[in-house]
Structure 1
Amino acid sequence: MSSFDTTLNNLGINRTTSTPTPSPSASGQLGQSDFLKLMTAQLKNQDPFAPVDNTQMVAQMAQFSSVAGISEMNSTLKAISDKLAGTSQSDALAYVGRTVLTEGNVAFGRTAGGIAGAIELDGDATQVNISIQSADGQVLKNMQLGPQSKGTVEFDWDGKTDAGADAGNGPFKVVVTAAQNNSAVTSRTLVWAPVAAVSMPASGTPVLTLPGIGQVPITAVRQIG
């Protein structure tokens, strides 16, 4: 045993131990309480006519305080993370049976007939057209929305074809074209879909299963019905 270890033992600080579970002292590192014991011993035994320079002592005290603060902050953040994870799962399960607005081009008809949705435009458009089609690509209804500003544009179809007939319950395919004069404007179609199931992977966000669309992350939901 070194003279340093002997000094530590005399102060009641054990740096080595045979206990299987390591502690800060057992791992060869001094903890905050160990440091305070050493500091107290130093103050008791220093020469009052030639006191030790306290610059390094103050710096070490600040370092220990910083490490202790970070440790406590990590514990707090871990607790918050665990709480949020639990809340996220319970919230995700609440989606089952509800309808959500998300990116997609396949929609099923409402009980009252027709479908509703929205279009996200990346720029202003002088003309926005919506083509409602059957599953096999047959055009059922053409809707011209005219000039629209950049952003989200909602639409609602009553379920009647251009000929005035009832189009049924679908599924329907929604095709959107948008242009600013003769230049195409990038757009995304948003449709309402019922949530059939929710899966929660070991890591990452919960995933919703939507009929006609497939699996989408919960973060892709724009609105809940």
Structure 2
Amino acid sequence: MNTVQNNTVSPSLLAAMNPAGAATQSSAAAAQDTFMKLLVTQMKNQDPLNPLDNAQVTSQLAQLSTVTGIEKMNTTLQSLIGSYQSSQALQAAGMIGHGVLVVGSSLNLSNGRAPFGIDLAGAADNVKVTILDASGRPVRSMNLGSQPAGMLPLQWDGRTDSGAAAAGGQYSFTVSATQAGQKVSADSLAFGQVASVASGSQGVVLNVPGLGPVNLIDIRQIL
């Protein structure tokens, strides 16, 4: 029959298992020890004719408590940030292989299709998209007419204004929108496919070929 022993783990073993936590505790303990030594030395060498009053001692103890509390709070926040980033990375991993729309104006025409999108700040009665080649020359104008506010996924079929098939490769596009003759703010959204996910000091970053590293918070839509 197997038994489980409930032995007490020594502080030194705990420190070896968690060096970061041990270092933080050691730092906090050292600060408290130094403070108390200074306070005791101050009290021992105080002027008998002008001793420290209770208010002074209480004030210094309160300062120690504040400093210790801030240090513990910083440690707790760092732990929470690490947990949050790990959670974000796990969620972002589910986006691998999926298409995303992010702020950008690039287009990649492949096999006669080039997905992209726009994001309208308000409703517009006239929305126009102009697709440009690598030298900046217009090759296709798309009049989308009236559109509601919000994101609108789109796709270029690779045809020019003359009806000819454009060569595959990199293009760009611009968008203009008006409502009753007044300009409506509109963001261009580039399309890409998530290849991998990384987590670091900058938070969770998605690797999107053709667009480069993309922060998770910059994703406008998952397709």
Match for 2:216: what amino acid?
Answer: I
Give me the whole-angstrom Cα distance separating, in 2, the residues matched to 1:217 and 1:94.
15
CA shift, 1:163, in A, is 3.9
- Greater shift in the superposed pair: 190-199 or 95-104: 190-199
Give me the whole-angstrom Cα distance separating, in 1, the residues matched to 2:116 and 2:91.
24
Match for 2:82: what amino acid?
Answer: D
Aligned to 1:156: 154
Aligned to 1:120: 119
Structure (1 or 2) with the greater strand fraction = 2
Aligned to 1:185: 184
Aligned partners of 1:205 and 1:219 also within 8 Å: no
1:45-89 CA distances to partner (integer Å, 9 max, x unpaired)? Answer: xxxxxxxxxxxxxxxx99999988777655543332222233344
2:85 equivalent to 1:85: yes
- Greater shift in the superposed pair: 170-179 or 75-84: 75-84
Task: Note the aligned Cα RMSD (angstroms).
Answer: 4.4
1:134-149 map, 5 Å: 134-136=133-135, 137-146=137-146, 148-149=147-148
TM-score by length of 1: 0.57
Q: 1:167 to 1:143 in 2, by over 3 A?
A: farther
Match for 2:218: what amino acid?
Answer: A
Give me the whole-angstrom Cα distance separating, in 2, the residues matched to 1:185 and 1:109.
27
Aligned partners of 2:122 and 2:150 also within 8 Å: no
Q: Which runs of 5+ in 1 are unaligned?
A: 1-19, 31-60
1:91-121 CA distances to partner (integer Å, 9 max, x unpaired)? Answer: 556655442210111122365x323332222
Structure (1 or 2) with the greater helix fraction = 2
Q: 1:94 to 1:85 in 2, by over 3 A?
A: same
Task: State how many pairs are aligned.
Answer: 185
Q: Which runs of 5+ in 2 are unaligned?
A: 1-25, 37-60
1:32-111 map, 5 Å: 74-91=74-91, 97-109=97-109
Aligned partners of 1:199 and 1:206 also within 8 Å: yes
Give me the whole-angstrom Cα distance separating, in 1, the residues matched to 2:62 and 2:31.
18
Identical-residue share of aligned pairs (%): 28
Aligned to 2:222: 224
Structure label with greater radius of gyration: 1
Q: 1:199 to 1:25 in 2, by over 3 A?
A: closer
CA shift, 1:177, in A, is 1.1
1:8-19 map, 5 Å: none
Give me the whole-angstrom Cα distance separating, in 2, the residues matched to 1:192 and 1:76.
38
Match for 1:106: what amino acid?
Answer: S
